[in-house]
C-alpha cells in the first residue's frame, strides 16, 4: 500500500480523552477513532491488526477441532428469560442493551452467547454420539459497561472470540478445557505477548474451574498474585494465602477501656500499643438480594486483613436460597442514607463488636431483622484479642471466644490475599504481585444453562441427561491494544511482527530524486511479491516526518532508499531495537523474509 493513497492521518498531540499509553498511541497513530463513549472505529491499519489476531485465534481453535459459526447479535428476550438472566442483565447489572421492536417484541444485543448456543444445542443435539462438540465465533459483542475506558480495553462494542463446548460428562469437559488452555497459550505466544494464566473467580456459576489469561502490563486493571516456583498464580479476586503470623496480644485480663478517636485499626493499634493482628475488626456490609430482601452482614476479620468483596459476594450468593432469592444485586458498606433506611439508632461505627445487637435493625418488611454474622478464618485462633465495645470511644481488650463473645457459626475465607503473604501450597513461597490485562477467560460451566433451558442428550442407556458445557472467550480487540500496552517506546508503537499491520515500510527520503524513487518502487514491488507485507512512503513530505511516522505506527522493519543506493545498498532499521544496517539491494528481500520467518 502506498501512503500517498491511504487514509493516513497521524497526530502530534496526545488525544485529551486517552489516559494510558496504548490508547494514546492508537489514536495518535491513526489506528482508531472514537465515535462515542466506548464506541470506536477501527481504521484500515487497525483492521489489519485485528484480522491478524483473529486469524491466529482461528487457526489455533481449528487445530483443536472446534468449528467456526456465526450467531445472531439480536437475541429474543425469551431465551434470556429461560436461563433466568434477562432481569439481571438488563436491570440489576444493566450490562445488556435491550430494545423493543415494532411488533412490541423485546430483544437484547448479545453481550455473550450462552443462551443462543444452548438453544441450538437443545434443537440439534440428540445423542451421545454427537458429542463432544465445540463451536466458536469471532464477532462484535455489546456491553453497556458502567465505565467504558482505555479505548479498546473496555469498550461498549468490541470484538470477541467465544467458544462453547458440549459434553456427556465432566471428564470430557475437562479434556476440552485443557485443550482450550493450550490453544490460548499458543495464541498469546504467537501474538508475541508476555502473559500468565491465572486461577480466576468463577463467580456464582461455580463449576470446577476457571482460568484467566493475563497480558502483563502496569496499566492492567487486574492484580495477579503468583509465586516464584511457578506453581501458583491467581487473580487477587480469587487468591488464597496464609496470613502473616500473629503477634501475641499484650492483654491478659478482659477489660473495657476508653480509646478516644480510634475508629481505624491503625489509630487503635497505635493507641493501645498492640499489633493489628491482635484485633478483631468488625465490618458491616449491606447486601440486597434479587427479591429485594436487604441483609445486613457483620464480618469479623483480623485487624490487619481486608475483606475480599468478590469472595463475600460468592458466599452471599451461595446463601441466597435461604432468603428465597437467587442472587445478590448490590453489596456495599452502608452509607448514611442506607443506614437511615434500616438503622434503629446510630451505629457505633469504628467501635463495633462481634455481638452488635440485632435491635440496631429497625423492623421492616424487606430487611432481615438479624445480622448475618460471618467470621473470617483469621479470627478463629485469636486469644485475648482487642475489639469494639459497641460504644463510640471504647474498646475491649483481653477478650476470648466462648468467654465474652461467641465465634460466628459461619466461618469462611474472606480475606484479601496480599503480596508478601505466604503461599498455601508451600509456606516458603511468598506471593508476588503483578498487574495484568485480562484478555481471555476459560470456564467450566457444567449444567447451569443446559439444565435451565432443557438441553439434554440421550445416553447409551437411553437416559435424558443435561449437557455438560464449557465456555471460552478471548477479547480480540482488547488483546490487540494490550499488545501495544506491552510494547512501545517514546517514539511510538512497537508491534510484534506477527500482528503488525504491515511487516515493512519502504521510505523514499527525497521524492524528487529519481534514483531514490526507482530503487524504492523496485523494492516495494519485490517485497510484496515475496509475500512481505509492505508499505511505501511515497508522500511529498520531509524525510524527518516520514521517519517519525514510521516509528509512531510501529512497523517492524523500515527500509530507506537514501544515499547508500549509490553503492547498491539500502538502510534497514529494526523498529524494536533501532538497530541500523546497510544491506545489498539484491539481497535485502531474502534477508527480510528470513527475519520475518524467524519472528513468527
Binding site for ligand ATP (CB under 6 A): 112, 143, 145, 154-155, 158, 160, 438-441, 473, 475, 477-478
Query: Which residue's CB comes closest to ligand ATP?
Result: 475
| Shortest CB 576 distance to ligand ATP, Å | 25
Q: Residue 160 binds what, of Mg ion, ligand ATP, none (CB under 5 to 8 Å, by partner type)?
A: ligand ATP
Q: Residue 294 binds what, of Mg ion, ligand ATP, none (CB under 5 to 8 Å, by partner type)?
A: none
Cα angle, residue 94 at apex, residues 89 and 99 outer, rounded to 5°: 80
Contact, 392 vs 348, CB < 8 A? yes
Q: How far is CA 12 from the centre of its chain?
A: 31
Closer Cβ to Mg ion, 143 or 441, answer by number: 441
| Shortest CB 337 distance to ligand ATP, Å | 28
C-alpha cell read off for 395: 474498646
Cα(213)–Cα(234) distance, integer angstroms: 10
Closer Cβ to ligand ATP, 149 or 422, answer by number: 149
Closer Cβ to ligand ATP, 91 or 542, answer by number: 91
Cα(327)–Cα(317) distance, integer angstroms: 5
Q: Residue 439 binds what, of Mg ion, ligand ATP, none (CB under 5 to 8 Å, by partner type)?
A: ligand ATP
In 113-171, beta strands by DSSP E: 133-142, 157-167
User: How many Cα atoms occupy the beta-carbon half-sphere of 181 within 13 Å?
Assistant: 15
Closer Cβ to ligand ATP, 382 or 480, answer by number: 480
Cα(283)–Cα(299) distance, integer angstroms: 5
Query: Which residue's CB comes closest to Mg ion?
Result: 441
Cα(470)–Cα(183) distance, integer angstroms: 15
Q: How many CB atoms lie within 10 A of CB 56?
A: 21
Helix axes 476-486, 44-63, angle to 10 degrees: 110
Closer Cβ to ligand ATP, 200 or 423, answer by number: 200
Q: Residue 143 binds what, of ligand ATP, Mg ion, none (CB under 5 to 8 Å, by partner type)?
A: ligand ATP
Closer Cβ to ligand ATP, 195 or 285, answer by number: 195
Q: Residue 28 binds what, of Mg ion, ligand ATP, none (CB under 5 to 8 Å, by partner type)?
A: none
C-alpha cell read off for 439: 484478555
Output DSSP code: residue 513.
-
Closer Cβ to ligand ATP, 395 or 478, answer by number: 478
Residue showing cell 496504548: 22
Output Rg (C-alpha) for the chain, integer angstroms.
30
Q: What is the SS3 assignment for 47-97?
A: HHHHHHHHHHHHHHHHHCCCEECCCCCEEEHHHHHHHCCHHHHHHHCCCCC
| Shortest CB 245 distance to Mg ion, Å | 34
| Shortest CB 470 distance to ligand ATP, Å | 13
Closer Cβ to ligand ATP, 143 or 305, answer by number: 143
Closer Cβ to Mg ion, 211 or 378, answer by number: 211
Q: Residue 79 binds what, of Mg ion, ligand ATP, none (CB under 5 to 8 Å, by partner type)?
A: none
Q: Residue 145 binds what, of Mg ion, ligand ATP, none (CB under 5 to 8 Å, by partner type)?
A: ligand ATP
127-132-138-144 Cα dihedral, nearest 10 degrees: 80
| Shortest CB 203 distance to Mg ion, Å | 9
Tell which phi-psi region holds residue 350, choosing left (phi > 0), alpha (psi between -120 and 50) or beta.
Answer: left
| Shortest CB 65 distance to ligand ATP, Å | 21
Contact positions toward Mg ion, by CB under 5 A?
441
| Shortest CB 73 distance to ligand ATP, Å | 15
| Shortest CB 58 distance to ligand ATP, Å | 16
Closer Cβ to Mg ion, 141 or 441, answer by number: 441
Local structure of 437: helix, strand or coil: strand
Q: How many CB atoms lie within 10 A of CB 90?
A: 18
| Shortest CB 142 distance to ligand ATP, Å | 9
Q: Residue 158 binds what, of ligand ATP, Mg ion, none (CB under 5 to 8 Å, by partner type)?
A: ligand ATP
Q: Residue 440 binds what, of ligand ATP, Mg ion, none (CB under 5 to 8 Å, by partner type)?
A: ligand ATP
| Shortest CB 441 distance to Mg ion, Å | 4
Residue in 515, 512, 474, 480 with CA at minimum distance from that of residue 498:
480
- Count of H-run helices and E-run strands, the chain: 14, 31
Cα(311)–Cα(414) distance, integer angstroms: 6
Closer Cβ to ligand ATP, 234 or 361, answer by number: 234
Cα(512)–Cα(543) distance, integer angstroms: 12
C-alpha cell read off for 387: 475489639
C-alpha cell read off for 54: 483473529
Output DSSP code: residue 21.
H
Residue showing cell 490508547: 23
| Shortest CB 357 distance to ligand ATP, Å | 39
| Shortest CB 85 distance to ligand ATP, Å | 13
Closer Cβ to Mg ion, 156 or 441, answer by number: 441
Amino acid at each position: 500500500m502506498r501512503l500517498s493513497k491511504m487514509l493516513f492521518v497521524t497526530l502530534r498531540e496526545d488525544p485529551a480523552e486517552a489516559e494510558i499509553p496504548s490508547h494514546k498511541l492508537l489514536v495518535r497513530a491513526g489506528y482508531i477513532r472514537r465515535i462515542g463513549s466506548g464506541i470506536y472505529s477501527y481504521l484500515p491499519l487497525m483492521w489489519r491488526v485485528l484480522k491478524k489476531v483473529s486469524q491466529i485465534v482461528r487457526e489455533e481453535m481449528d487445530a483443536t477441532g472446534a468449528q467456526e459459526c456465526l450467531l445472531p447479535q439480536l437475541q429474543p428476550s425469551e431465551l434470556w428469560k429461560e436461563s433466568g438472566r434477562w432481569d439481571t442483565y438488563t436491570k440489576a447489572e444493566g450490562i445488556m442493551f435491550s430494545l423493543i421492536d415494532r411488533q412490541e417484541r423485546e430483544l437484547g444485543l448479545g453481550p455473550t452467547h450462552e443462551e443462543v448456543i444452548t438453544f441450538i444445542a437443545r434443537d440439534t443435539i440428540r445423542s451421545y454420539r454427537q458429542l463432544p462438540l465445540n463451536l466458536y465465533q469471532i464477532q462484535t459483542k455489546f456491553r453497556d459497561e458502567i465505565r467504558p475506558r482505555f479505548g479498546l480495553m473496555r469498550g461498549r462494542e468490541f470484538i470477541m472470540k467465544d467458544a462453547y463446548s458440549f459434553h456427556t460428562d465432566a471428564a470430557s469437559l475437562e479434556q476440552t478445557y485443557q485443550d482450550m488452555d493450550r490453544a490460548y497459550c499458543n495464541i498469546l505466544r504467537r501474538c508475541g505477548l508476555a502473559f500468565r494464566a491465572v486461577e480466576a473467580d468463577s463467580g456464582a456459576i461455580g463449576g470446577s474451574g476457571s482460568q484467566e489469561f493475563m497480558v502483563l502490563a502496569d496499566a492492567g486493571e487486574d492484580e495477579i498474585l503468583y509465586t516464584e516456583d511457578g506453581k501458583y498464580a491467581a487473580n487477587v479476586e480469587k487468591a488464597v494465602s496464609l496470613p502473616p503470623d500473629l503477634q501475641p496480644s499484650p492483654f491478659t485480663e478482659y477489660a473495657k477501656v476508653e480509646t478516644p478517636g480510634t475508629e481505624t485499626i491503625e489509630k487503635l493499634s497505635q493507641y493501645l500499643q498492640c499489633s493489628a493482628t491482635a484485633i478483631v475488626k468488625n465490618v458491616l456490609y449491606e447486601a440486597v438480594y434479587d427479591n429485594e430482601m436487604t441483609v445486613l452482614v457483620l464480618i469479623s476479620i483480623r485487624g490487619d486483613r481486608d475483606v475480599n468483596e468478590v469472595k463475600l459476594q460468592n458466599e452471599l450468593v451461595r446463601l441466597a436460597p435461604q432468603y428465597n432469592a437467587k442472587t445478590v444485586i448490590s453489596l456495599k458498606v452502608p452509607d448514611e442514607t442506607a443506614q437511615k433506611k434500616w438503622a434503629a439508632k446510630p451505629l457505633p461505627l469504628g467501635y463495633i463488636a462481634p455481638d452488635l445487637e440485632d435491635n440496631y435493625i429497625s423492623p421492616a418488611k424487606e430487611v432481615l431483622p438479624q445480622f448475618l454474622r460471618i467470621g473470617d478464618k483469621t479470627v478463629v485462633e485469636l486469644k485475648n484479642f482487642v475489639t469494639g465495645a459497641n460504644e463510640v470511644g471504647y474498646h475491649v481488650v483481653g477478650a476470648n471466644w466462648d468467654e465474652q463473645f461467641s465465634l460466628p457459626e459461619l466461618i469462611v475465607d474472606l480475606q484479601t490475599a496480599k503480596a508478601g503473604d505466604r503461599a498455601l501450597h508451600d509456606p516458603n513461597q511468598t506471593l508476588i504481585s503483578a498487574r495484568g490485562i485480562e484478555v481471555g477467560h476459560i470456564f467450566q460451566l457444567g449444567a447451569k444453562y443446559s439444565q435451565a433451558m432443557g438441553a439434554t442428550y440421550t445416553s447409551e442407556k437411553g437416559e435424558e441427561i443435561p449437557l455438560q458445557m464449557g465456555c471460552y472467550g478471548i477479547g480480540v480487540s482488547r488483546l490487540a491494544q494490550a499488545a501495544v500496552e506491552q510494547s512501545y517506546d517514546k517514539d511510538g508503537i512497537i508491534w510484534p511482527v506477527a500482528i503488525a499491520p504491515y511487516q515493512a515500510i519502504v521510505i523514499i527520503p527525497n521524492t524528487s530524486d529519481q534514483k531514490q524513487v526507482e530503487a524504492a518502487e523496485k523494492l516495494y514491488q519485490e517485497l510484496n511479491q515475496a509475500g512481505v507485507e509492505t508499505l511505501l512512503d511515497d508522500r511529498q513530505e520531509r524525510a524527518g516526518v516520514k521517519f517519525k511516522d514510521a516509528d509512531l505506527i510501529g512497523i517492524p522493519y523500515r527500509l530507506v532508499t537514501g544515499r547508500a543506493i549509490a553503492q547498491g545498498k539500502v538502510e534497514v532499521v529494526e523498529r524494536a531495537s533501532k538497530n541500523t544496517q546497510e544491506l545489498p539491494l539484491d539481497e535485502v528481500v531474502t534477508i527480510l523474509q528470513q527475519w520475518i520467518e524467524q519472528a513468527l
